[in-house]
Amino acid sequence: MRSKVYSISILLFLLGCNPSKTAQNKTKPNVLFIAIDDLNDWLGCMNGHPNAITPNIDKLAKEGILFTNAHCQAPLCGPSRASLMTGLRPSTTGIYGMIHDEKIRDDNEATKDIIYLPEYFRNHGYHTMGIGKLFHTHAPEGVFNESGGRYPGFGPLPEKRFVWDGYGTSDREKYGRTSTDWGAFPEADSLMPDHHSADWAIERINREYDKPFFLGVGFLRPHVPLYVPQKWFDLYPLENLAMTPYKADDLDDVPPVAHLINDLPMMPTTDWAIESGNWAKIIQAYLACVSFVDYEVGRVLDAIKNSKYADNTVIVLWSDHGYRLGEKGTFAKHALWEEATNAPLLFTAPGLPKGKVIDSPAEMLSVYPTLLELCNLPKYERNEGESLVSLMLGKDESENVAITTFGMNNHGIRTLKYRYIQYEDGGEELYDHAVDPNEWENIAKDLNYVEIKKEMKNLLPINNAKWNIHSNYNFQPYFVEQKERTSNVTSK
């Protein structure tokens, strides 16, 4: 029986009942929607790295619910964000690569009339506002009542790169240039776009509204280049840093397609980082960026806490995917392995438990339906994700799974204990996280796991849409070739 500490009104709010209009208005809380780019599990509350200093996000976790085992629907920002904002899987939309915000609905039967997450709130009486990176660039025109836009690119940038040229060993004429580089720059937080995004959000929080608001704030760091002011680097002396787990022959037992996907010639390799003495410096720079963005998040959270909206605001904080800092041989997202797919997901809301940690798998696809339920809005029948509210209130955690897709018909399935990967040609990987959290031993060919694999296969998406004509990933040979081979289209 549910604890009696919940009042009748809270129960109605959490269970999505339909009380009177007056009561319903009281149960339409505001929403603070915080998106962070390329943030993996290197938070104090997630124990992802022993040196991580993230007091503000850690505090948020203590005030709400933390999903430690949440996973993106694509390990690349464009398709991941399109999936979360549309409520549809990449395998449904064919958006497997990057896509311009304005093109998500174009020439696509799956998305042509989809209602984006912020639009749904606007359509149900909310005043919607957004700044920074929320969709891939910022947001399609007209999605928000108020838009603060987005600082172009990932600057500010020094006159000359510090370490990495952005090309590596890639073909400069055929493929793109990564922003990857690291070093202390600029001199002050006030010169960073994320600082200005926080300022904009704080100013909006301090306004008066005659209706509930939805405020989206998209932070850029720790996306590369790993540039933040020196004071954030000073938090992490090189001699004290723990290195990430790395096994030189780790990929000897994975299928050929896995090697093709992991062929990222524009990115530093772990072997190069070791030989050049840069491994610790890259980790230091990433951690510095994480602490910086934690500070900016904290400024926004403090503004909400000190405002008249403190007791009537749902907060969700999420990242579009994880990031590898040397694991599996490189420094990048771009994979169906744990470090590339696992990312933070936190909720606080009136009536939800505080300080609860859920280790069951969850999907970023669930953000859309979960916010609707927490805000007592009608379900959107097009959502392919499931609301997490019942799970946050005590549902059996072992029943949940998370699916990540990278390219057409390449999928990773995460359960509480296992990760299963099946590639387009049938190649497989299977890892038992109870004994192999680093995913070093592929046991897909072990006959003892035949039944486990069969169960995992049953969870794979049935529909595998062809590449959307407007979606592409031209940084990597495999995805250029796959799109041409499977879908007979080139990008518009």
User: Among all residues, which ones are annotated catalytic?
Assistant: 77, 136
Q: How would you classify residue 423: left for phi > 0, otherwise alpha for psi between -120 and 50, otherwise beta?
A: beta
Burial 150-177 (b: 16+ CB within 10 A, else e): bbeebbeeeeeeebbebebebeeeebee
Which one, of 231, 253, 324, lies nearest residue 42 by Cα? 324
What does DSSP say about strands 70-71 and 362-363: parallel, antiparallel, or unpaired? parallel
Do 32 and 315 form a contact (C-beta atoms < 8 A)?
yes
CA dist., res. 286 & res. 387, Å (int)? 32
**Helices 55-63, 279-305: crossing angle, 10 deg rounding:** 50
The SS3 of residue 313 is strand
CA distance 328 to 440: 9
Within a 13 Å sphere around the CA of 312, how many CA atoms are in the beta-carbon half?
15
Task: Select from 296, 288, 220, 235 the least CA-distant residue to 56.
Answer: 296
**CA separation for the pair 279, 263 (Å, rounded):** 19
Confirm if 322 and 72 have CB atoms less than 8 A apart: yes
Specify burial of residue 435 (Cβ count, 10 A radius: 0-12, 13-18, 19+).
exposed
Concatenated DSSP letters of 137-180 = SS--TTSSSEE----STT----SS-SS--S-TTS-TTTS-----
Residues paired with residue 67 on neighbouring β-strands, in sequence order: 345, 358
- Taking the C-alpha atoms of residue 246 and residue 208, their distance in angstroms, rounded to an integer, is 52
Contact 72, 90 (CB under 8 A): no
Distances (CA, A) of 69 to 146, 223, 398, 401, 470: 33, 21, 12, 10, 31
Give CA–CA dist 406/436, Å, rounded: 23
For residue 432, list its beta bridge partners. Answer: 418
Helix then strand then coil, % of the chain, to nearest 5 = 35, 15, 50
